[in-house]
Amino acid sequence: MARNRHNIGFMAIDRIAYHYRFSPWRQRFRGMVAEGQIGGEKILALKPLTYMNASGESVQPAAAFFKLEPGDITVFYDELDLAPGKVRVKRGGGAAGHNGLRSIDAHLPTPDYWRVRIGIGHPGDKARVLGHVLGNFPKADEDWLVTLLDSLAESAPLLAAAQPEAFMSRVALLQTEN
């Protein structure tokens, strides 16, 4: 489960938390929580332990407890419609068929949170989508996956500083350098 494509958001959060020496993970808000600082900003990392389709049941109580507005929240998730390793950031928008986003949308007052879409590619045939998303990354993907996760972590201060375009550019640059 840890290496499957649907978990690429958790992989990114784990790498960021490790890179910036966040506190140890502890169970809270129906998820695992770690705290740290990135670029002088206090950051709470949350990995919901609910089913993906119920992620909002973890995000909402954490947001309420810390008095976070939707615009203070950033969600990292897998995106079928992006090539493997491509990253796009935007604020707000629809769920585009992603049940985890649909749940978060339903539990927050507005869907105006930041979204970091991480490309896992499309298998080419709609009938193969479920197996692709829930399948593990093959060994052949190891190089680009490790480079991507390291690039996301190294570029995180730009995201914490609300500079999404600079974050995406830096991630892309770091991927080409490695």
Strands 74-79 and 114-119: parallel
Neighbouring C-alpha atoms within 13 Å toward the C-beta of 39: 13
Q: What is the pLDDT of residue 17?
A: 98
Q: Is the dihedral of CA 109, 88, 141, 153 positive or negative?
A: negative
pTM: 0.93
- Could you give the C-alpha distances from 158 to 38, 46, 123, 166, in angstroms and in order? 9, 19, 32, 6
The answer for residues whose C-beta is within 8 angstroms of residue 153's C-beta and 6 or more apart is: 12, 15, 16, 18, 19, 20
Q: In what order do the strands lie in the sheet with 87-91?
A: 74-79, 114-119, 87-91
The candidate with the shortest Cα–Cα distance to 137, out of 19, 10, 46, is: 10
Fold held by 5-177: Rossmann fold (3.40.50)
Q: What is the pLDDT of residue 53?
A: 86
Residues of the chain with pLDDT under 70: 1, 178
pLDDT single digits (tens) 80-128: 999 999 999 999 988 887 888 999 999 999 999 999 999 999 988 889 9
The answer to whether residue 6 is catalytic is: yes
Distance of CA 78 to the CA centre of its chain: 7
Q: What is the pLDDT of residue 99?
A: 85
Q: What is the pLDDT of residue 94?
A: 86
The candidate with the shortest Cα–Cα distance to 17, out of 2, 32, 1, is: 32
Domain boundaries of the chain, sorted by first residue: 5-177
